[in-house]
Structure 1
Amino acid sequence: MIRIGRRIGVGFMGLLTIVMAQPAQATLPPTDGVTAVHHPAWSTHATIYEVNVRQYTPQGTFRAFERHLPRLRRMGVDILWIMPINPISHLQRKGTLGSPYAVSDYLAVNPEFGTLDDFRHLVATAHRLGFRVILDWVANHTGWDNVWVTRHPDWYLRNAAGDLEGYHYTDLSDHHQEVWADVIGLDYRRADVRAGMIAAMQYWLKAADIDGFRCDVAWTLPVDFWDQARAELDKVKPVFLLAEADTPEMQTRAFDMTYDWALYHLMIKIARGQANARDLAALYTAPPRRYPAGAMRMTFTSDHDENAWNGTDQELYGPAADAMAVLAATLPGMPLVYSGQEDANAKRLKFFDRDPIAWGKFPRASFYRRLLALKHAHPALTNTMAPGNLRLITTDNAHVFAFTRDLGRDHVRVVVNLSAESTRFIWPDGKARLLTGWGWAIVPWPPTLPR
């Protein structure tokens, strides 16, 4: 009997013949049409890393973060998603420093981080090392003292009395409604608002040579605005756009990638014993939404919101954290790593105040390096939704999830134990195997992953 442990790479080639010789249960992510978005060629096998500049170093500056670039490149990061860099409003500010998502000037740099020249230097250095850089962009709302409030007071949403008020937000996951008191909403019924926002985005493409944007609460804005924005941005340079949304129609003509929240929430349930492999299989055989073929989804176990408001990896996943990261890195989509995950950061980083990451010896960096290297080495692990690329392997165990990713002659087989207990399961060859608690095996072919 073969024991499958927590290993990644080429250590289990004996399983390859078993998996490839047996038929898998044919599945594919059901799609609806084909995306018209032309993804930058560098994005189809890229990995992404979210940079929380404020909390990344004791200094909290661009220049201080820049010293981490070689380390992140060695880890296998391709795209740097940098949280908002604009100045933060003082009116209605939360905490001592305010939310980075309460912008006071779209064409300026937060002095907390440095200068425009410092940011340009960071982008240029990142480009020389092989990174792409996307900027977190807050198009839906601004801070109360944004320069537009005085220059263009008619650009804002107002209540029945004609007054500005905090933005009324509805959470997509549970329809919970709240008021974001530190920000005010823009009126996208107005053509001049749309033109002004697109011009501000174009400024950063020209002024700093960034490669695209991550668009905050993108689902709150009309899809036709994003379609328009994408067309205008691409006139400056081909861009990569990530929407904080899981809205399929946003990926028809506007966005390269949206959030895979369904997978994220299901992985938390699995880690807590509230779901199993059959629930995970159903996410792909009967998905809640159908996306255009060729679209990308972002797969993740954490980001700035989840860490700050919902919990650390230890809180959300406990001993299952690495197993969930394996799923996020090998199922269809682009894997995200958030600031501090490679160091097993064990605290919720504050959102409105300084709270630097206490960097140690990066105990999970080699783990992520191996995972991200798989993405680069194997065409089968494409970021795009490709019918026929994902096939589930049927086992007789509700806690064992197994699948194959195929593209041409390239194949990657993955099996993960979704429970804390060692468990036996039957491979399609009829032979029993033993999988350790929260253990996995990844079997690529050809075996090109570097040791």
Structure 2
Amino acid sequence: MRRTSFLLTALLALGACAAPNAATHGSAMAPAAAGMTASADAGSHPAWARNAVMYEVNVRQYTPEGTFAALERHLPRLKAMGVDVLWLMPIQPIGVKNRKGSLGSYYSISNYTAVNPEYGSDADFKRFVEAAHRQGMKVVLDWVANHTAFDHGWITAHPDWYVHRADGTISNARDNEGRETDWTDVAELDYDRPAMRQAMLADMRWWLDTMGLDGFRCDVAGGVPMDFWMQARAALKAAKPDLFLLAEAESPEMHTAFDATYGWELHHLLNEIAQGKKGTGELDGYFARQAQRFPRDAIRMYFTSNHDENSWNGTEFERMGANHVPAFVLSATAQNSMPLLYTGQEASLRKRLRFFDKDTVDWSGPSLADFYRAMFELKHTQPALANGGWGAPQTALRTDAGERVYAFTRTQGTNTVLVAVNFGDLAAHATYQDLPRPGTYTDWFGRAPVALAASGTLDIPAHGYRVLVR
């Protein structure tokens, strides 16, 4: 969901939502700090999430038809590319009152337990989920628990379930400091109302029982009280033990209820490095902070684009230029990472998709599918790169290549992966020291053997990368 422009709150305490908001809707990483918040039922992540790669689907814009039936035709292609989890942006009916644009915001929901007829019927969606499952993919739905449309049935039936202004009118959605936003199409829910909480849980459960969903990506998760998310996790996992929950938030405490959180801070840091505003030395500090603050088995969703970034801040080509490729390599291989790919990235989508109107993806751009397929195969086959605590810690590999190059290794048992990325305009001939496991590696993309001594040199193309496995 797109928010008003208050600053990134990735490092704030419990309840802080880490998504950036805009005008509309050299050493091994340190162990986790003593006394850190444990993740939800530590070790309770579903087994299928171990090496999973997530793909965000914008149903409205994915095809000219904008329907589940049309989207279903893409499932074999997505499976062949290596996608494991489909995250669908909200598919419920969109409110008409105070609507923005011609079609409205996906996140202005007028009925939690219905399907937007523009996309198809309930039966169409159930067939889509079943087809995805036959392909071996999981399906998670964007869940908007923070607010509803102003013409949701609860507005008239249960006006006390909403936050009210001093004059008695229902408030727009609010930010994490309790201030009203310019999301004039959505009304803020009041989590002091136990009956509303129960209704919300029942509506979430409906999607598990009726449609067979595998989990939820929870919008504005930091705006909803943590005790509700704890309640939701317990209730929903009782119904579906291998449930997966992703929070649109970045506070470590969110992992008491969620399997995964957003990596907004790394995303913005990579934007700045790609643009030359910061050097790669900043990455050491970032990864050290994550290791200190987050549970060891926390899964972090890292990305170079998503629906918010694409529509409001620009495509990865606008924000990162040619460096979108090394940025993705780093984000997909970093410790704890579950990589995300957004609608159209595999077709070099260079357009900001309109948020409130129809704007079909242009699938004719230069294909990056082979690159992403290779990256996802890397993720699936290298134990050191497994998600969350299943994977290995990372150790920075020191080089003399300066502030445009970053390199690290991750080792799990007999498996080692060396990743080196170059954000510079020139090829780098990097001298490295203290490689933990010297020996013969395989260049993942070139498939050629590479002999690496404990100290030596490594060539990295401009705006490029090297991934070596052993």
- 1:425 maps to which of 430, 444, 461: 430
Q: Does 1:75 align with 2:100?
A: no
Tell me which residue corresponds to 1:327: 330
- Hey, what does 1:416 align to over in structure 2? 421
Instruction: Name the structure 1 match of 2:469.
Output: 444
Is the contact between residue 145 and residue 219 of structure 2 (CA under 8 Å) also seen in structure 1? Answer: yes
Residues 180-219 of structure 1: pairs in structure 2 closer than 5 A: 180-219=183-222
Q: Deviations over 1:239-264 (max 9, x none)?
A: 10000000111102x10000011110
Distance in 1 (alpha carbons) for counterparts of 2:351 and 2:94: 24
Deviations 1:401-427 (A, max 9, x none): 111112122211111112222223211
Match of 1:341 in 2: 345
CA 1:145–1:176 in 2, change beyond 3 Å: closer, same or farther? closer
Alpha-carbon distance in structure 2 between the residues aligned to 1:362 and 1:80: 23
Query: Secondary structure in 2 aligned to 1:241?
Result: strand
* 1:301 and 2:304 correspond: yes
Alpha-carbon offset, residue 176 of structure 1: 9.6
The equivalent of 1:223 in structure 2 is 226
Q: 2:376 aligns with which of 363, 372, 375?
A: 372
Residues 78, 28 of structure 1: alpha-carbon distance in 2 compared, 3 angstrom cutoff: farther
- Say whether 1:240 aligns with 2:265: no
Q: Secondary structure at the match of 2:295?
A: strand
Which residue does the alignment assign to 1:99? 105
CA shift digits 1:340-398 (9 cap, x unpaired): 00000010000000000011266100000000001100111011146962111111233
2: CA distance, partners of 1:231 / 1:378: 32
SS of 2:56's equivalent in the other structure is: strand
Q: Secondary structure at the match of 2:461?
A: strand
**Which residue number corresponds to residue 399 of structure 1?**
404
- Equivalent of 2:159 in 140, 149, 153: 153
In 2, the alpha carbon distance for the partners of 1:337 and 1:387 equals: 20
Alpha-carbon distance in 2 for matches of 1:288, 1:219: 21
CA contact (8 A) 1:134 1:214 kept: yes
Query: SS in structure 2 opposite 1:415?
Result: strand
Query: Aligned partners of 1:288, 1:27: CA distance in 2, in Å?
Result: 6
2:30–2:292 Cα contact (<8 Å) kept: no
Task: Report deviation, 1:83.
Answer: 0.5
Letter in 2 for 1:251: H
> Which shifted more, 433-442 or 162-171?
162-171
TM-score by length of 2: 0.86
Matched, 1:434 2:459: yes
1:50-89 Cα shifts (integer Å, max 9, x gaps): 0000000000000000000000000000000000010000
Q: Following the alignment from structure 1 to structure 2, what is the Cα–Cα distance between the partners of residues 420 and 299?
A: 24
For structure 2, which runs of at least 5 residues remain unmatched after alignment?
1-25, 434-453
Q: Distance between the aligned counterparts of 2:294 and 2:221, measured in 1?
A: 16
Alpha carbons 2:348, 2:365 under 8 Å: kept: no
SS at match of 2:301: strand
Distance 2:456 2:141 in 1: 50
**What's the secondary structure of 1:126's corresponding residue?**
helix
Q: Residues 177, 435 of structure 1: CA spacing in aligned structure 2 closer, same or farther, 3 A cutoff?
A: farther
TM-score, normalising length: structure 1: 0.89
Q: Residues 172 and 180 of structure 2 are in contact (CA less than 8 Å); yes or no, is this contact kept in structure 1?
A: no
Report the aligned-residue RMSD: 1.8
Relative to structure 2, which stretch is displaced further, 326-335 or 55-64?
A: 326-335
**Residues of 2 paired with 1:83 and 1:33: CA distance?**
29
Task: Indicate if the aligned counterparts of 1:28 and 1:390 stay in contact, CA closer than 8 A.
Answer: no
1:317 maps to which of 320, 330, 333 = 320
Alpha-carbon separation, structure 2, partners of 1:97 and 1:137: 19
Moved more, 272-281 or 396-405: 396-405
Q: 1:250 aligns with which of 241, 244, 254?
A: 254
Matching residue of 1:128: 134
Alignment-mate amino acid for residue 244 of structure 1: E
Is the contact between residue 293 and residue 386 of structure 1 (CA under 8 Å) also seen in structure 2? Answer: no
1:25 corresponds to? 27
- Report the alpha carbon displacement of residue 279 of structure 1 after superposing the two structures with TM: 0.6
Number of equivalenced pairs: 418
Kept after mapping to 2: 8 A contact 1:29/1:387 = no
Question: Residue type matched to 2:56 in 1?
Answer: E
Alignment match, 1:62: 68
3-state SS of the aligned residue for 1:133?
A: strand
Structure 1 residue aligned with 2:114? 108
Query: Is the CA contact (8 Å cut-off) linking 1:257 and 1:297 kept in structure 2?
Result: yes
3-state DSSP of counterpart to 1:187: coil
31-40 or 417-426, which deviates more: 31-40
Q: Report how far residue 99 of structure 1 moved.
A: 0.3
1:39 is aligned to 45
Unaligned runs of 5+ in 1: 1-23, 446-451
Helix, strand or coil at the partner of 1:102: coil
Q: Percent identity?
A: 47
CA distance in structure 2 between the partners assigned to 1:83 and 1:433 by the alignment? 42
Whether contact under 8 Å (2:85, 2:137) holds in the other structure is: yes
**Secondary structure class of the residue paired with 2:372:** helix
Q: CA deviation at 1:286?
A: 3.4
